[in-house]
Amino acid sequence: MRRRLIQSTLAVVLVVIAVFGVSLVIVETRTITSTAQERVDTEAVRLASIVDSRLLGEETVDAAVLRDQIQGDRYAEIRIPGERLIEVGTKPTGDVISAEETGEEGETVTVQEPRSSVTREVGRTLLIIAAVALLAVIAAVLLAVRQANRLASPLTDLAETAERLGSGDPRPRHKRYGVHELDRVADVLDSSAERIARMLTAERRLAADASHQLRTPLTALSMRLEEITLTDDPETVKEEATIALTQVERLTDVVERLLTNSRDPRNGSAVTFDLDEVIQQQLAEWRPAYRSAGRAIVSSGKRHLEAVGTPGAVAQVLAALIENSLMHGGGTVALRTRVTGNQAVIEVTDEGPGIPADLGARIFERAISGRNSTGIGLAVARDLAEADGGRLEMLQTKPPVLALFLSRTPPPKLSQESGPTVR
């Protein structure tokens, strides 16, 4: 591209020089020739005037007197009636420029100048024009190289940026070049880089959330399957298989919920449901794990509370809180339900050492953990709660009390329509 830009610029300059240079040479040649002729004519008139004045004053007219009146390499002939020819200077050979003037006393003055002087002057003019043209070509080449670099370098940078985007490096460069069209392309590439970065972040977050959220249901399911393999009682096998199928359904719901939140975290289908069902389901699912750890999990508080939300999402939030107490807490874990204003509250507490003071409310941030865990569970739980129109808060650090707040009043859409009620 650089070579094409330089060649095109140089071609334009050469065409301009050729057109205007030839025209200028023709005009200057004619001007120099015309000026030389005017000089000779003026010299003849002046010399005739001198001869007239001397003749009228009856002074001597000869070559010695007129020699100082002839300039340069000009040659003059003076013909006075009745007298011999007077010659001043050296008569030129070859082509000459000549002028003739007749005086008042009848004398004839002829002035000649060799055309070679005009040729020399034309040659000097041509050299000047050629030098100017050469300087113009050099300046054009330098300007073309500068412009080519100014245009080609940004294009090279933009190509490298596009290549980086294709190779999975979505960092925007925020580099501009002072050329509107190129800056526009750079803006588009930076916007694309930011979108790709957001998409990659969302995908990584979905993968992390999925691995975390699926871990607990899969663990519970594997425990049920182990129970089936360890018993020969058909009734027990049937009961455990039924529970396992229920957990598979919940696992499917978890997957669908994760995919839904990855597209739009606010498009959950909120319904009015009974909190007792969700709590009892979680107690049944987590008791085996707590028994294995030599701990207990209980529930208390107000019964038959109805809340508005997505049962699957609420179950995932409670599972995250219960798992957090199992991993980081101690003693008995208690789930307490109560009512405050127009909200139903589920508190999860344990008898452990509590939340470290240096963490505080930061436990809901991603990658923040008091131990060597992923630091994802509570962050995902907070997102799920907010997507359902509720909120997840830390009420107390020692002993730890984490509370899920859910609305008890259906939103306007649910109030106007007879939404389903889960009981």
Q: What is the pLDDT of residue 1?
A: 67
248 versus 208: the higher-pLDDT residue is: 248
Distance of alpha carbon 364 from alpha carbon 347, whole angstroms:
16
Q: For residue 175, what are its two tokens?
A: 């580099």
Do β-strands 108-114 and 75-79 pair in parallel, antiparallel, or remain unpaired?
antiparallel
Q: What is the pLDDT of residue 343?
A: 92
Is residue 165 scored above 70 in pLDDT?
yes
Q: What is the pLDDT of residue 332?
A: 92
Please return the burial class of 198, using the count of CB atoms within 10 Å of its CB with bins 0-12, 13-18 and 19+.
exposed
Of 221, 272, 208, the closest CA to residue 250 belongs to 221
Is residue 31 scored above 50 in pLDDT?
yes
Please return the burial class of 98, using the count of CB atoms within 10 Å of its CB with bins 0-12, 13-18 and 19+.
middle
Is residue 299 scored above 90 in pLDDT?
yes
CA 95 to each of CA 86, 92, 113, 230: distance values in angstroms, whole numbers, following the listed order: 22, 8, 9, 130
Q: What is the pLDDT of residue 10?
A: 82
Of 334, 303, 310, 340, the closest CA to residue 321 belongs to 334
Is residue 421 scored above 70 in pLDDT?
no
161 versus 130: the higher-pLDDT residue is: 130
- Comparing 17-26, 93-102, 308-317, 407-416, which segment has the lowest mean pLDDT? 407-416
List CB contacts of 258: < 8 A, sequence separation 6 or more.
206, 209, 210, 213
416 versus 9: the higher-pLDDT residue is: 9
Contact 268, 313 (CB under 8 A): yes
Distance of alpha carbon 203 from alpha carbon 211, whole angstroms:
12
Please return the burial class of 123, using the count of CB atoms within 10 Å of its CB with bins 0-12, 13-18 and 19+.
exposed
CA 302 to each of CA 131, 299, 390: distance values in angstroms, whole numbers, following the listed order: 102, 10, 19
5 versus 339: the higher-pLDDT residue is: 339
Q: What is the pLDDT of residue 197?
A: 76
392 bridge partner residues: 404
- Count CB neighbours of 148 within 10 A: 19
Average pLDDT over residues 353-376: 65
* Average per-residue pLDDT for the chain: 80
List CB contacts of 5: < 8 A, sequence separation 6 or more.
144, 147, 148, 151, 152
Peptide bond into 399 cis (omega under 30): yes
Q: Where are the beta strands (DSSP E) in 39-170?
A: 75-79, 86-88, 96-102, 108-114
Q: What homologous superfamily does CATH list for 264-422?
A: Histidine kinase-like ATPase, C-terminal domain (3.30.565.10)
What is the Cα 401 distance to its own chain's centre? 47
393 bridge partner residues: 403
| Domain ranges within the chain, ordered by starting residue | 2-139, 264-422
- b/e map 373-386, b = 16+ CB within 10 Å: eebbbbbbbbbbbe
Architecture of the domain made up of 2-139: 2-Layer Sandwich (3.30)
List CB contacts of 243: < 8 A, sequence separation 6 or more.
224, 284
List CB contacts of 188: < 8 A, sequence separation 6 or more.
none
Q: Work out the percent of the chain whose per-residue pLDDT is above 70.
A: 84
Question: What pTM was estimated for this model as a whole?
Answer: 0.47
| 3-state SS assignment for residue 88 | strand
Give tens-digit pLDDT for 111-158: 888 888 888 888 898 899 889 888 988 988 888 888 777 777 777 777
Q: What is the pLDDT of residue 419?
A: 45
Q: What is the pLDDT of residue 337?
A: 94
